[in-house]
Amino acid sequence: MPSPLINSEIPIGRFAPSPTGELHLGSLTTALASYCHIKSLGGRWLLRMEDTDTQRCKPEFSQQILRDLDNLGLHHDGEVIYQSQRQAIYDDYLHDKLADTAYACECSRKDLAGFNVYPRFCLGKGLTWIGHKIRVQLPDRDVTFLDNLQGWQSVNPQQTLGDVVLKRADGIINYFLAVSVDDGLQGVTHIMRGLDILPLTTAQIALMDMLDLPAVRSWHHLPLVQNAYGQKLSKQNLAQPIDTGSVQKCQALIQHGLGLLKQPPVEMDTPERMLVQAVVQWDETPLKGQAVLGRTG
């Protein structure tokens, strides 16, 4: 089982798209913001493909995301990590670190209709872990952290999420376990991601602690880009993919993304040089306390 990389002197950020589709304006703003932020701190920007869900994620989307980021000058540091190749690591952490707090569950969706959090029907049944989904008992206490954009957060993950599923009955590791293991193992110190994930963050903090992984030092949950109906842009609601097929298009995308992020404009130049300017000018102040970056489409 690999042990965490501790290199706390250098800030480490990451962009962690799920390749269930191509990048859209929402994911572009997350990539741009996390890049500019971590580079403004002199840090490293890692890229991780969150493709554990092999039914929904497609290698061609990963390839397109890599091409788009490269065209935009958003060059990552180090090797790209693919979660689909790290199943054994997540399984090891599950068995080694969560043996006492995780348990197998055979409840169907129908059994659980009407419950907000899992009513622990299977806790204590001692079901085999093979062929069943695995849940973990999240702590029943308030977990508190400072989000640099959204302010202090204090949430009891047991009351809001309950015993979340870490591994599905078909063997697929859920996002929540994979993200916690990888942020810990990759020594990520600064997480900047969409506000839609904020409800999971105290649970991630608690789980990383249970996994004996180093804590993330700094959190930012970014306001979201919405569509014309006020929904978060997502592949599910058919957000338009970005087109990075020419330098002019990349320049326009960078300008547009920085504008949505309420950053001062940069001079038209190569994408790489535009990003150098954006890093120098990076200022998170206008994003503080905001839930929405803007609407599009």
Start-to-end Cα distance in the chain: 46
- When the beta carbons of 167 and 221 are compared against ligand GLU, the nearer one is 221
16 binds ligand GLU (CB under 6 A): yes
Least separation in angstroms between residue 22's CB and ligand GLU is: 12
- Identify the sign of the CA torsion 1, 199, 132, 123: positive
- When the beta carbons of 172 and 197 are compared against ligand GLU, the nearer one is 197
**What residues from 97 to 126 belong to the interface with ligand GLU (CB under 6 A)?**
none
How far is Cα 18 from Cα 21, in angstroms, rounded to an integer? 8
- When the beta carbons of 133 and 193 are compared against ligand GLU, the nearer one is 193
Question: Which residues are CB-neighbours of 116 under 8 A, at least 6 positions away?
Answer: 162
Q: Contact region for ligand GLU (CB under 6 A) — 11-19, 54-62, 242-250, 268-276?
A: 11-19
18 binds ligand GLU (CB under 6 A): yes
179 binds ligand GLU (CB under 6 A): yes
Least separation in angstroms between residue 100's CB and ligand GLU is: 26
Beta strands in 52-197 (DSSP E): 81-82, 102-105, 133-136, 143-147, 151-155, 165-167, 190-194
CA angle 223/143/134 to nearest 5° reads: 90
Draw the binding track, 43-72, toward ligand GLU (x: CB under 6 A; -: no contact). -------x----------------------
Contact 191, 27 (CB under 8 A): no
193 binds ligand GLU (CB under 6 A): yes
12 binds ligand GLU (CB under 6 A): no
How far is Cα 89 from Cα 93, in angstroms, rounded to an integer? 6
Residues that bind ligand GLU (CB under 6 A): 16-18, 50, 179, 193, 197
